[in-house]
């Protein structure tokens, strides 16, 4: 769960989303359901968890989300969904100082 991620990769995804101010998302504990854990891997054809979907579209795992965060693509993808990244506001605040 986002309140207590059980692995470092899940924690990294939660932290990235928090940095951008994304709070409205769903998470599922795949450790409690082996069928769900394998099923999501089969569905996405992606071998690792966590898996990130934006508006129902598979984006990738922790490594992809981290890369998108670092290169600015995540800000743009969030914008397409009507979500303004909180990092944009932080940048404006720093420019004023």
**pLDDT tens per residue, range 58-89:** 999 999 999 999 999 999 999 999 999 999 88
Show binding-site residues for [2Fe-2S] cluster: 7
Cis, bond preceding 70 (omega within 30 deg of 0) = no
Q: Give which of 34, 38, 17, 37 is closest to 26, Cα–Cα.
A: 17
Q: What is the DSSP letter of 83?
A: -
The whole-model pTM stands at: 0.86
Q: Are 61 and 46 in contact (CB under 8 A)?
A: yes
Q: Give which of 24, 19, 31, 10 is closest to 72, Cα–Cα.
A: 19
Show binding-site residues: 7
pLDDT of 95 higher than 60: no
Query: What structural domains and CATH numbers belong to the chain?
Result: 8-96 (3.40.30.10)
């Amino acid at each position: 769960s986002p309140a207590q991620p059980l692995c470092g990769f899940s924690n990294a995804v939660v932290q990235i989303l928090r940095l951008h101010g994304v709070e409205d998302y769903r998470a599922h504990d795949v450790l409690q359901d082996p069928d769900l854990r394998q099923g999501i891997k089969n569905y996405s054809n992606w071998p690792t968890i966590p898996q990130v979907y934006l508006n129902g579209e598979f984006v990738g795992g922790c490594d992809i989300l981290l890369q998108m965060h670092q290169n600015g693509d995540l800000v743009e993808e969030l914008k397409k969904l009507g979500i303004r990244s909180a990092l944009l506001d932080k940048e404006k605040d720093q420019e004023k100082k």
